Amino acid sequence: MKQGAPEEHCQIEALISAISGRWKLLIIYWLAQESCRFNQLQRNLGAITHRTLTRQLTELQESGFVSRKDFRTLPSHVEYSLTPLGESLVPLLLQMHQWTAQNADKMPRPKEQA
């Protein structure tokens, strides 16, 4: 980023829009570890509801970060994984993790969910 006149359209807006929300970066984090079935991903995330996880995965698929593979078996077997675009976010997540580890004592604690 350079100093001076502000850009007419901030380039980062599209990324922020695509990954904003409480769960999307955490979903990307878990999928960076390995491809997951829906229920495993829900267990990894903890407090997320079925409806919210479905919505967040759909939005991440529409944005091109996550792919869904249906094995077309009975019982149903579907796995989610990162696309190459999603994988390209992993270094950014690692940098965010490192920054958080260095600055955790300066940040407010997350509020507990009811």
| Residue 34: predicted pLDDT | 95
Which pLDDT tens digit goes with each residue over 19-71? Answer: 988 899 999 999 999 999 999 999 999 989 999 999 999 999 999 999 999 99
Does the predicted TM-score (pTM) go above 0.85? no
Q: Which domains, from first to last, does the chain contain?
A: 20-104 (1.10.10.10)
CA distances to 24, 71, 92 from 99, rounded to whole Å, are 19, 39, 10
Strands (E) located in the chain: 36-37, 66-70, 78-82
> Is the CB of residue 23 less than 8 Å from the CB of residue 53?
yes
Summarize the confidence of residues 93-108 as an average pLDDT.
Answer: 91
